[in-house]
Structure 1
Amino acid sequence: MRKTPRQHRSRAMVQDLVEAAAITIAEEGLEAATAARIAARAGVSVGSLYQYFERKEDLYAAVLAQIAGELKAVVGRQLGSLSPKGIHDFVSDLLHDVWTLLEAHDGRYMHISRYWAQLDSATVMNELEAQMHTALAVYLMQNPPTQPIQDLQAKIYVLINSVLFTTVRYISDPAPHVSREQVIETFAAMSAQLVGEQRVGRPAGEGTSR
């Protein structure tokens, strides 16, 4: 960001620009998300846009940061309910909540995610990886495995990155022969197997947290 907005009006304008960028990418595609088009959608001049964003790519980064913040909040909320539900249901509920978030606002984030490979998403993925790692670490502290897990750090690394990158890939280009529920259940089962969890079904009438 070129300069930090300090007044309420300037902060609101920056938020309007980020929102306009997100909508433009989602509805018209990444190539159509020019500075002029984003500024017009936000109802400001291009000059006002360039007061706060040096390039359109900086606006794209702000959109990704907003998505990352909301995704991290989803992980945080689920982390608060981790202990009583076990790792299988934690992962299942988390991935359902992620999809719910991505489908909100007429699927805006879902559409943006389809351009993940063209956006500078490394920072976002690293932040999400770190939070998922924290969640699994908390689980293992609260629920120590009865038997030592060989190569635990490597397995956690592979599991988390499999979840992140497969989810992005599935959103970008869904496999016609694989359902979303199958993807979610596979990762939930992998997580339970990793920590040696013997899954117990949810109490009658209890669903996911979404």
Structure 2
Amino acid sequence: MASDRQRLQPRKQPRQARAELTRQRILEAAAHVFADHGYAAGTTNRIAARAGVSIGSLYQYYPSKDALLLALTTAHIDSGMAAARRLRADALPDALEDIIRVFVRTTIGNHTDHPQLLRILLEQAPRTPELMAKIYAYEEASVAFVEALLGRHPEVRVGDTHTAARLVVSTIELLVHQLVAPPAPVDVPRFENELVAMLTRYLTAAPAPGPLG
């Protein structure tokens, strides 16, 4: 277990601006190499060459390509969390459909810069306890925010706003992950419109009658 942790943890924490720039250059190179060549062919030698550093310099920062992949995944999650914080701080539209569109568009925007890389992050990145804790915290904060919003919005007709919030958050995240990334990405504007319409209809439909007693 200790060896796995050592293989995935960054070796060097930059304390100077120059070292941080080198670390960022290595991560950017890794993102391009994984996207262009895939995980198996995305070797550390290729990444070092793309970053313009020696292989020894790369290993000073990251002990393996799995450590690089984990760092990229963590950065992706951090970017999503930052976007969610900005969304919660901004004034939202009044209409429920427009609010759902903001949620969907924000999530799509965090997944379209490197769609080829996204597929690799989803399928190949290591899942450490620290990363999973970050993902769960992100999801729980999103669900709490959406639940509070649904509970006070006059257009919402669902009775169980907690379950509805979990469905909304999970549906947006999972479908964006599944359908925006290759190998068969959908037309993004059409996907956005259909997802917004689907969730809006779900939230505003009259509750189904319960079973007859």
Same fold (TM over 0.5): yes
Percent identity of the aligned residues?
A: 25
Q: In 2, are the aligned partners of 1:87 and 1:191 still within 8 Å (CA)?
A: no
- 1:168 and 2:174 correspond: no
Q: In 1, are the aligned partners of 2:119 and 2:181 still within 8 Å (CA)?
A: yes
Deviations 1:122-172 (A, max 9, x none): 73754552343143034235537776713x333322332222111111123
Residue ranges of structure 2 left out of the alignment (5+ in a row): 1-9, 207-213
Alignment partner, residue 146 of structure 2: 136
Residue in structure 2 matching 1:192, options 196, 200, 204: 200
Give the 3 Å change call, closer, same or farther, for CA 174–18 of structure 1 in structure 2: closer
Q: In 2, are the aligned partners of 1:88 and 1:188 still within 8 Å (CA)?
A: yes
State the SS of the aligned residue for 1:114. Answer: helix
AA of the residue aligned to 2:125: L
How many residues align? The count is: 192
Alignment partner, residue 210 of structure 2: none
- 1:89 and 2:93 correspond: no
Q: Trace 1:154-165 onto structure 2 (pairs within 5 A).
A: 154-165=163-174
Give the 3 Å change call, closer, same or farther, for CA 73–193 of structure 1 in structure 2: same
Alignment partner, residue 201 of structure 1: none
Residue in structure 2 matching 1:110, options 83, 93, 115: 115
Paired with 2:145 and 2:43, the residues of 1 have a C-alpha distance of 38
Runs ≥4 residues deviating over 4 A: 144-148, 173-176
Residue 2 of structure 1 deviates from its aligned partner by: 2.0
Alignment partner, residue 119 of structure 1: 125
Residue ranges of structure 1 left out of the alignment (5+ in a row): 199-210
CA RMSD of aligned residues (A): 3.1
Paired with 1:174 and 1:185, the residues of 2 have a C-alpha distance of 21
State the SS of the aligned residue for 1:48. Answer: helix
Q: Trace 1:1-210 onto structure 2 (pairs within 5 A).
A: 1-81=10-90, 83-104=92-113, 109-115=114-120, 116-120=122-126, 123=132, 125-126=135-136, 128-140=138-150, 142-143=152-153, 149-150=159-160, 152-173=161-182, 179-196=187-204
Alignment partner, residue 5 of structure 2: none
Task: Report the TM-score, using the length of structure 2 for normalisation.
Answer: 0.73
Task: Report the TM-score, using the length of structure 1 for normalisation.
Answer: 0.74
